[in-house]
Amino acid sequence: MSEVYDVIIVGAGPAGLGAALYTARDRLKTLILEKFMPGGQIVTTDRIENYPGIERIDGARLVAQMQKQVESFGAEFKTGCEVTKLEKLKDGNIAIYCDKDKLTARVVILAPGSIYRKLGVPGEEEFAGSGVSYCGTCDAPFFKGKNVVSVGGGNTAVEETLHLTKYAAKVTIIHRRDEFRASRVLIEELLAKANEPNSNLLVKYSTIATAIQGQGKVQSVKLKDVKTNKEEDYPCDGVFIFIGMVPNTGFLKGFVDLTDRGFIKCDCAYLRTKVRGVFVAGDCRVGAAMQLATAVGDGIVAAMMLKQYFRDPNWWNEPVSDLLQPGGW
């Protein structure tokens, strides 16, 4: 029989790495499964300025440091490994099916993260990869000297739009509301850029994209002013979509409870799912703030709480209580 891990963490993004740092430091036998290589969505970010204690860093470098730190305490990584199924065993352990392997753990922390949300408009699928992109840092150089439209109003949208202005001849950011949802500091930077003389950045509020159009390549996007309902064909060569993320939880259907939108249901304090011994951390859970620091924090919460489960498996069904002081263990 194959060995039983104390903890298997599904996903090596910030949540999974945060969890692994704590479990490995507790000398728990820890394995992290990742279908690509460690990092998750954060590796596509070229500027992180909101992770406390680090003034500015790119996602790939931060993740490399996190991985090195986690490995130094003995956690094992298995990359290129896509989890397809989980199963609660009669002895209380959990089986994880990954490619042809069946792995077993006393506790599982689910941290599969999230993937790009799509607009769901005509033309989006057709032009994906040939004019429609979800990663400004990856694809901006292919639009050097061209006109692009970026869609969204959160932190990622604003950061990626600013990145696009370094390459494109003209960038138009459209947002469905009449104010951005990004951090104030980013909004200020965006508006300052738009207000520069001869700026290549244009901001359009209260505007949505209803179709992406072209013959063989993107030639325009159909824009609609949501206040006046007026539509226009807006010429462009590319459309960058940054409208948030959806949880990457399809493989968990039937194992844990999911919301209608696919987020994993949990108690939101100790991060317990309905399955004993299965915790959740990061963007994939209900109530997630979808931030780097909160994902890391989630991983740490799960790593702290699993010790309580090891001490008393019946704790799983107990309500959230102020009697539990994990710091004192």
Partner 1 sequence: MESLTKETFSQKVFNYEQNKEWKFEGELPCIIDFYADWCGPCKMVEPVLQELIEEYQGKLNIYRINTQYEQELAAAFGIQSIPSLLFVPLDDKPQMAVGALPKNSIKKAIDEVLKVSEN
Nearer to partner 1 among residue 79 and residue 259 (C-beta): 79
| Closest to 109 measured CA to CA, from 58, 66, 61, 75 | 75
- In order of 31, 76, 286, 306, the CA distances from 26 in angstroms are 13, 14, 27, 11
Nearer to partner 1 among residue 4 and residue 128 (C-beta): 128
Nearer to partner 1 among residue 140 and residue 271 (C-beta): 140
User: CA–CA separation, 166 vs 123, rounded Å?
Assistant: 26
Least distance in angstroms from the C-beta of 24 to partner 1: 21
Least distance in angstroms from the C-beta of 137 to partner 1: 7
Least distance in angstroms from the C-beta of 67 to partner 1: 12
User: CA–CA separation, 160 vs 166, rounded Å?
Assistant: 10
Coil, strand or helix: which one is 202? strand
Nearer to partner 1 among residue 136 and residue 299 (C-beta): 136
User: CA–CA separation, 24 vs 77, rounded Å?
Assistant: 12
> Which residue among the candidates 26, 46, 58, 135 is catalytic per the annotation?
135
> Which residue among the candidates 81, 98, 139, 236 is catalytic per the annotation?
139
| Element housing 185 (H / E) | helix 184-194
Least distance in angstroms from the C-beta of 112 to partner 1: 11
Nearer to partner 1 among residue 25 and residue 35 (C-beta): 35
Strands 238-241 and 132-133: parallel
Strands 170-174 and 201-204: parallel
Nearer to partner 1 among residue 138 and residue 226 (C-beta): 138
> Which residue among the candidates 101, 138, 178, 233 is catalytic per the annotation?
138
Question: Would residue 81 show up in a list of annotated catalytic residues for this protein?
Answer: no
Question: Would residue 98 show up in a list of annotated catalytic residues for this protein?
Answer: no
Instruction: Give me the residue label for tokens 């979800």.
Output: 134
Return the structure tokens found at 318: 């107990």
Least distance in angstroms from the C-beta of 8 to partner 1: 18
User: CA–CA separation, 308 vs 313, rounded Å?
Assistant: 8
Residue ranges in contact with partner 1 by CB under 8 A? 35-37, 39, 43-46, 59-60, 79-82, 84, 99, 128-131, 133, 135, 137-139, 141-143, 238
Check: CB of residue 129 under 8 Å from CB of residue 241: no
304-311: long-range contacts (C-beta < 8 A, 24 or more apart)?
304/22, 305/270, 305/271, 305/272, 305/279, 306/7, 306/23, 306/107, 306/109, 306/279, 307/26, 308/270, 309/107, 309/276, 309/277, 310/6, 310/106, 310/107
Identity of the amino acid at 17: L
Go through 280-313 and write b for each residue having 16 or more CB atoms within 10 A of its CB, e for each that does not. bbbbbbbebebebebbbbbbbbbbbbbebbbeee
Least distance in angstroms from the C-beta of 63 to partner 1: 9
Tally of CB atoms within 10 A around 31: 22
Least distance in angstroms from the C-beta of 45 to partner 1: 8
Residues with active-site annotation = 135, 138-139
